[in-house]
Amino acid sequence: MQRKTKGFIPSLYTRITARVLCLQERDLPVILQGSGHDPGILMPGDNTLITAESQMVILDNARKLHGKPGLGLLVGHQLTPNTFGPIGYLALSSPTLLRALMALRDFLPLRISFTHLDLIEMDDYLGCKLKITLPVSEPNFIHLTECFALVIRSLMNSVVGEPLDGVRFQFSYAAPVYSDDYEKAFGQPVEFNAAYDAVLVPRRYMHLANSSSDTSSYQRARDLCEELLQSAPRTHLTLADRLRQLMLSQPAATVSEDMLASAMFTSKRTIARRLAAEGTSYRQVRDATLAELATRHLQETNLSTEAIAAILGYNDVANFRRACRRWFGMPPSEVRAQAPGTLTRTDPRISGSGGR
């Protein structure tokens, strides 16, 4: 019998796994069976820290539910740098790829305590070497390693702005039965039975400028979202609270009713009914949250209107300007000029809701 392990991992990763499996509300107890947790940890806004031992039980349950090999590759594709919260933001705002990888190395254990990343200099490569610092079964080790390698790939592509050529992925275990899926998943050569698990990145990329790097104003924008995430209670959240939390965890304007229903493992009709029982609607919560974020970004940062529109998830800055006129009766430039605390929302659908 495997001894109990220490460590923790946020419930967010189990939530993502449940979504990959397309679970419904009635299925949630199955993935959590034997973990000591109830389905409440899978709701948006929950920040429960799951012990490593319980997480391994959940991974075993997830593979049984999936019923076929390769779940780690599917989950790994859903893990972006933003999944890692402030650590991901720090990496994405780093000036170079090397600094981004260093940020992940320095702070990854704060997010997933039983992982460690070493950066090893080689002749032509920088090796990103993963270590799992506690004993896990081989299937779970493979699952975690697949996810980690895909996170590194996603981070590199995000920082540089395009897929990198010449990257090598190597794994210490034998080729699994689904090994043909690896080259498709990673888009680069893959080696099995290697001396250690690592992503080898050509050193010529290390000092490329990060196309999305910004100054402290960008970091402040990310800090604002973190402050707002902390403002809602973590227990007994209403569905409106959970929708707000979901919007604050990613570009808010991109959160659709379909996305909320998927996050809650239920249907749009059920979501609408539950929000109506709380005296609100998806549109009301969405607009109130967007209006609050727009106000804070405009009045507390030096970000341009275009940058704020992008952070909030608007593809077209003109749509953001129209939304400001609807919310406040004035364009973004005039919202910025108002004294903090004096702004009045003119849209009756959001007036008095969603504020702090």
Compute the distance between CA of residue 195 and CA of residue 218 in angstroms, rounded to an integer: 40
State the average pLDDT over residues 97-117.
Answer: 79
Asked whether residue 90 falls in the same domain as residue 182, the answer is yes
Q: Please, are residues 18 and 69 in contact by the beta-carbon 8 Å criterion?
A: no
Asked whether residue 183 falls in the same domain as residue 221, the answer is no
Model pLDDT for residues 245-293, shown as the tens digit of each residue: 788 777 788 888 998 888 888 899 999 999 998 888 999 999 988 998 8
* Residue finishing a domain among 16, 40, 67: 67
- Report the percent of the chain where pLDDT is more than 70: 84
Residue 105 lies in a domain: yes
What residue type is assigned to position 114 of the chain? F
Answering whether pTM is above 0.85, one says: no
Residue 43 lies in a domain: yes
Average pLDDT score, the chain: 84
- Report the percent of the chain where pLDDT is more than 90: 42
* Residue finishing a domain among 163, 186, 205: 205
Question: Which CATH number fits the domain that encloses residue 285?
Answer: 1.10.10.60
Residue 91 lies in a domain: yes
Model confidence at 353, in pLDDT bands (50, 70, 90)? very low
Tally the C-alpha atoms within 13 A of residue 264's C-alpha that lie toward its C-beta.
26
Asked whether residue 98 falls in the same domain as residue 23, the answer is no
Asked whether residue 242 falls in the same domain as residue 310, the answer is yes
* Residue finishing a domain among 149, 173, 205: 205
pLDDT the model gives residue 228: 52
b/e code 162-191 from CB counts within 10 Å (16+ = b): eebeebbbbbbeeebeeeebbeebbebebe
State the average pLDDT over residues 38-52.
Answer: 88
Helices 216-229, 305-312: axis angle to 10 degrees equals 40
Burial class (CB in 10 A: 0-12, 13-18, 19+), 211: exposed
Asked whether residue 193 falls in the same domain as residue 251, the answer is no
Range of the domain at 333: 216-337
| pLDDT beyond 60 at 5 | no
Number of neighbours of residue 209 by Cβ within 10 angstroms: 12
| pLDDT beyond 60 at 142 | yes
Asked whether residue 108 falls in the same domain as residue 172, the answer is yes
Residue 73 lies in a domain: no
Asked whether residue 192 falls in the same domain as residue 247, the answer is no
Q: Structurally, how many domains does the chain consist of?
A: 3
**Higher pLDDT among residues 288 and 140, named by residue:** 140
What residue type is assigned to position 131 of the chain? K
Structure tokens given for 289: 């949250």
Residue 33 lies in a domain: yes
Asked whether residue 91 falls in the same domain as residue 199, the answer is yes
* Distance set, CA 326 to CA 62, 84, 307, 345 (Å): 45, 34, 20, 9
Residue 38 lies in a domain: yes
Model pLDDT for residues 115-131, shown as the tens digit of each residue: 888 888 888 999 999 88
pLDDT the model gives residue 322: 94
Model confidence at 113, in pLDDT bands (50, 70, 90)? confident
State the average pLDDT over residues 233-246.
Answer: 71
Residue 346 lies in a domain: no
Asked whether residue 12 falls in the same domain as residue 58, the answer is yes
| pLDDT beyond 60 at 352 | no
Model pLDDT for residues 163-174, shown as the tens digit of each residue: 889 999 999 999
Asked whether residue 85 falls in the same domain as residue 201, the answer is yes
Asked whether residue 327 falls in the same domain as residue 300, the answer is yes
Residue 302 lies in a domain: yes
Model pLDDT for residues 212-223, shown as the tens digit of each residue: 666 564 465 456
Structure tokens given for 326: 């609807």
What residue type is assigned to position 178 of the chain? Y
State the average pLDDT over residues 191-198.
Answer: 95
State the average pLDDT over residues 24-46.
Answer: 92
Asked whether residue 235 falls in the same domain as residue 332, the answer is yes
Q: Which range (65-79, 217-231, 295-309) has the least confidence?
A: 217-231
SS3 317: helix
CA 332 to chain centre: 28
State the average pLDDT over residues 172-183.
Answer: 95
